[in-house]
Amino acid sequence: MIDSTTLFNYYSSRKILDQLQSQAYQQPQSKQGLKQQNMTDLTLDAKQQFLYDEIVMQNYSADDFAEFINKESKHGMNIEYTTFTELQRIVQKYKQTHSSINQISSNQYQNYMNGHFENANHNGSTNLENKSVDPFDSSHYEKKYTKKFRENTLGIKDEHQQHAHLKEEKQEGKTKDDVKNDGNNQQEQQTVSSKEDNQMIVISKYGLSEAPYFREIDCLKEIPMINFYSKVMIEVCEPEKVQGGLFGFTAGYLTYKIVVKPHNWEVRRKNSDFNMIREILQRIYPGKILPPLKNKRNISSDKYGIEKQMRYLQMFLEDLNRDDEIWANEYLISFLSERNPDKLLKKFKEAEKIQLQRSFKTHSNMEGKIKVQLTNSNYLFAEESTKFIDNASSIYTKIKNLCRTLKQDFEKSAETMFSLGELFHQLFSHFNDFDNKIIEKKQENQKLKDCYVNLNNLMMTWGNLMQNQMKQVHENMCFLFKYGEKEIEQYKFSLKQLAEEESSYFKYKQRLNAKKEKLFILGDISKWEIGPNIHFQPDNIISNKQLAFKIMCTKETIYENHLKDYFAFYCESIYQNLSKGFLKKANDYSKFFELFSHSQLKNIEEISNLWKEIQNQYKPDDVIGKGISASQKISASANEKQEILKHIFPPKFY
């Protein structure tokens, strides 16, 4: 099939001009008028945009048109040398003999045309209502791209637009230089990113380089059998112990109730069922990073252990729900909805036949196509992610352990506070016995008894606060980072798969290249193992090493390309899934901060109210030292306030 990318320029409507063209426009006289310069590249962009508007945007088949123009034009697909008039004629002839895939409605077309010529109207040209623009008028495309070229490459703007920009800059409080620098930086970043993705990918560990690679491969298309809802409520609850064996002699197990709304699914499942469905999904979707499950040997049978396990299982299902393809999987649907245990077991037995997918034809998704892509961006992402995950793995383990230590510290602090509270209670009891046996100094003794009571209340409340802190750390922090540690393990597993695919491809490629090099040097075409369906001229390939490498060792080259597809597939999968995983982790932490800060504010408010109550109820200075009464202290406070006001406001304000 002919590549139609160069005809329509899908990826950008404006390519960077080559170095000679840029140098030509950097000359002072170039700013006097673009028509004085060679506009070859600019005109090519206009032609590409014209074809994009007339073929692609009007739902004609780009591939069919590429075949058509290749036959119709004497220059084939090289439209740089095809005049615009000739291009118009070919497009008109193509439209007369071909139909669009789907007719664009008149409203859609009108909206498109309005948007297409919005820039022209904005700059003072006649409205489309008064004067229609001929889509075959080459001056329109030249004008559009001349303007774009003037702005982006030469930095020249129309006077009207310059005034508008200056006005906006004043309103936003920015200088013209700041805005220009921001724009230049943004353009530089986009240019650098575009250049990097088009450059050869250096695979330093194997001493090789690889060209950027992209293609779509047909696969099985899934048809969802369920409705998708914007909000799905999942609950794992009501654990129930089931005795094992007929007479209960074998080990029992726990089952959990799963409720999914608004699907209205309600079933009971055991831990091994969760492990089974995860294994099935892992085989069906090798490129996806599935949420973790707790190891069976680490599941505690006490009340807290069961509650924590239910949280793990619920988070597992909630994470699966974030992926529509997985959520619509027939095996997962059976797991969540099938109430008959025998039917579920039969479904699981059927799934045991599924092997890890090694052929794209047996893959499945909702689009029916798999994107295989290898670029500098996704390869660099995978390389740096591997380094980060390796470091993060040990750090998460340390955080998990320190959270456990923190929980123990709060527990010890709470015990210490309660012990102090008990001691103050004992002091109160002994002093109260003393006070009951004497006659004088009852009022002063009451003050001391109140002090012991307040100290007891303070320590007990503080101890309760430490217990709440311990509970928060135990239930939230410890769980969050332990689950995070499990997620990191899944990331490492996926990155390990990518490393294995990378190793398989490049090691095979190295061996095959070495073999091809030897065959090429020998020059005996009969030993090149060229496939029977490949036609070639011996004189052409014997001296053309690049062409020879493409056709020799046909079967091995096909297998090399298969390995390359899988390496690129895993590279893109890591890029997409890890990006989503990092975003999910940020959302998890945001939710944790919200809940944790709310509980901390509540604890602080509780202890603060107690301190205020104690402060207002009793102050040692009232008895010890000055002996000022409460009424005298209130009067003194009022006098101090009045003196302060005299220095601030006129007498009428106080």
Q: For residue 519, what pLDDT is reported?
A: 92
With a CB cutoff of 8 Å and minimum separation 6, the contacts of 53 are 116, 135
- With CA atoms as reference, report the closest residue to 8 among 68, 43, 75, 54: 54
95-134: b (≥16 Cβ within 10 Å) or e: eeeeeeeeeeeeeeeeeeeeebbeebeeeeeeebeeeebe
Phi then psi dihedrals of residue 245, to 5 deg: 75, 170
Half-sphere exposure at residue 335, Cβ-oriented, CA atoms within 13 angstroms: 26
Q: How far apart are CA 311 and CA 292, in angstroms?
A: 12
Q: Residue 266: which region, alpha, beta or left (left: phi > 0; alpha: psi -120 to 50)?
A: beta
Domain locations in the chain? 5-156, 220-367, 382-618, 622-653
For the four alpha carbons of 166, 171, 175 and 181, in that order, the dihedral sign comes to negative
Per DSSP bridges, beta strands 364-365 and 208-210 are unpaired
Please tell me the predicted confidence (pLDDT) of residue 543. 83
Q: Provide the pLDDT for residue 131.
A: 36
- Check if the beta carbon of residue 596 is closer than 8 Å to that of residue 476: yes
pLDDT < 70 stretches in the chain: 1-43, 45, 99-198, 244-251, 296-299, 356-358, 618-654
Residue where the block lists tokens 């009971």? 268
Question: What is the topology classification, in CATH, of domain 220-367?
Answer: PX Domain (3.30.1520)
pLDDT score for 251 = 66
Look at residue 138 in the predicted model and tell me its pLDDT: 41
Asked if 360 and 217 count as a contact pair (C-beta separation under 8 A), the reply is: yes
- Amino acid type, 605: E
Contact call for residues 79 and 7 (beta carbons, < 8 A): yes
Dihedral angle of Cα 480, 484, 485, 487, to the nearest 10 degrees: 140
pTM for the predicted model, two decimal places? 0.61
Q: Which two tokens stand for residue 594?
A: 């919200």
pLDDT at 195: 53
CA-based nearest residue to 34, from 138, 131, 165, 149? 149
pLDDT for the residue 645: 41
Q: How many helices (H) and strands (E) does the chain have?
A: 22, 9
**Other beta carbons within 10 Å of 74:** 8
382-618 in CATH: which number? Answer: 1.20.1270.60
CA dihedral of 494, 498, 500, 503, whole degrees rounded to 10? -160
Cα dihedral 522, 527, 528, 532, rounded to 10, equals 150
Separation between Cα atoms, residue 465 and residue 600, nearest integer Å: 10
Q: So what's the pLDDT on residue 228?
A: 84
Q: Which residues contact 636 (CB under 8 A, 6 or more apart)?
A: 628
- What's the rounded Cα separation, in Å, for the pair 383 and 502? 11
Tell me what pLDDT residue 5 has: 45
Structure tokens at 195: 């250049």
Per DSSP (E only), the strands in 262-300 are 265-270
Given the DSSP bridges, would you call strands 220-221 and 369-374 parallel, antiparallel or unpaired? unpaired
* Side chain identity, residue 511: R
DSSP state, residue 36: G
Is 105 within 8 Å of 112 (Cβ atoms)?
A: no
